[in-house]
Amino acid sequence: MRYVIIGNSAAAVGTIEGIRQVDGAGSITVISDEAYHTYSRPLISYLLCGKTTEERMKYRPDDFYEKNGVTLLLGRHVCAIRPEEKTVLLEDGEKIAYDKLMVATGSRPFIPPMEGLEMVKKRFTFMTLKDAKTLEAALTPKSRVLIVGAGLIGLKCAEGIHGRVGSIAVVDLADRILPSILDAEGSSIVQRLLEAKGIVFYLSDSVRQFLPERALLQSGKEIGFDVVVIAVGVRPNTELVAQAGGKVSRGIAASDCGETSLPDIYAAGDCCESYDITTGQNRILALLPNAYMQGEAAGIAMAGGEAHFKKAVPMNAIGFFGLHMITAGSYDGDAEVLQDSEGNYKKLVTKDGLLKGYILIGNVERAGIYTSLIREQTPLAAIDYQLIKEKPQLMAFSRKQRAEKLGGMRI
């Protein structure tokens, strides 16, 4: 069996580990246009602020490919998939034949048309290791950095470069920061912290025009800058599958074992959709844990095993300057907010007798117990909800459930 994987990040690694659980013999070829050993993309901000190194941010050990019998084609670009002859075509003309193909092509930064942006010399995106290195090379202690986008990527970039530049300004069209993971109150808590660190926000605003060293905003305000980072969002890399005739909606359409609409072609990770159990909709969940698990299930299926990735839940664990937050699920439902005197913020959202989502800022202890209620769709009537609301604890479960969880009893 010849397995070919396009991509070399979390979904690809999941696929390799999934295949090898079932098939120790088949050949695996990984093709990636990035020239690096597999590394963790979310760690690039930690790299800039010195909390990790290029060596330590490797997602798997140095001997990973060798141990898994993987042939690596790095720095090579796939330009087409030919399903009729079961090959992928590389830019340099080489053809690679596959029996099972995994498309784990991820996503790329979305750069909206902005007047004058192409004239800005020091403009960057913040997604790959190369992005981080080129941005870093352009920074000086005097740099005035303008970040367009107050989402996860933009703000992690801000944290990463904080302390090594002169100033950081962040512009976003939304009226609050991190709108994809936080509610209004949560956004304001985190915004206050970032402002206290000297980061300046321009919200409900956007860049009308870039001039040399100045950005004119829609509001009429002006921001002086030398470096621009565009972090407004990402777009899935779906083109290879679309051009091969595969079904693509927002992302590549894939079953719960990763099959696309094309025979023997699978997809996983940020390029494809998964079924979000909290909203009941197919959507792109561009999250590393999701990518890994989707890839693993697909890898097992590609090798003829039985695996399904059915419990996709949007979730994020992130921190800024030591303030941690964990969020998960959907916020559509009955919300209950609990705040304590130490400034910890908690919101629990329930609907139809289930926990659907939560936000924890500050104290994130044992958050996984909440995540598990969402993922397993545990009826809240079956546990002591008052107790679990107070804090995540196994005490809220029945003695019998605990015997199963902790005592290894199968009941």
Spatial separation of the C-alpha atoms in residues 292 and 245, rounded to whole Å:
25
Stretch of 44-52, 86-94, 141-149, 330-338 lying at the interface with other proteins (CB under 8 A): 44-52
Q: Name which position in 35, 56, 74, 249 contacts other proteins (CB under 8 A).
A: 56
Within 348-407, the residues that bind other proteins by CB under 8 A are 364-369, 371-372, 375-376, 387, 392-395, 399, 402-403, 405-407
Within 229-258, the residues that bind other proteins by CB under 8 A are none
Q: How far is the CB of 14 from other proteins (least distance, A)?
A: 8
Q: How far is the CB of 170 from other proteins (least distance, A)?
A: 21
Backbone angles phi and psi of 352, in degrees to 5: 50, 40
Within 161-220, the residues that bind other proteins by CB under 8 A are none
293 binds other proteins (CB under 8 A): yes
CB 84 within 8 A of CB 95: no
The overall longest dimension of the chain from CA atoms, in Å, is 69
Spatial separation of the C-alpha atoms in residues 160 and 133, rounded to whole Å:
12
Strands, DSSP E only, in 234-367?
234-236, 265-267, 273-276, 281-284, 315-320, 323-329, 334-339, 345-351, 354-361
42 binds other proteins (CB under 8 A): yes
408 binds other proteins (CB under 8 A): yes
Cβ closest to other proteins, residue 43 vs residue 257 = 43
Residues forming a β-bridge with 124: 229
**Residues, the chain:** 411
Q: How far is the CB of 210 from other proteins (least distance, A)?
A: 33
**Burial zone of 133 (CB within 10 Å; 0-12 exposed, 13-18 middle, 19+ buried):** middle
The alpha carbon of residue 194 and the mean position of all alpha carbons in its chain are separated, in whole angstroms, by 22
Please give the size of the binding site for other proteins, defined by CB under 8 A: 51
Q: Name which position in 2, 324, 351, 389 contacts other proteins (CB under 8 A).
A: 324
- What are the residues binding other proteins (CB under 8 A)? 10, 14, 40, 42-43, 46, 51-52, 56-61, 288-289, 292-293, 296, 315-319, 324, 326, 328, 364-369, 371-372, 375-376, 387, 392-395, 399, 402-403, 405-410
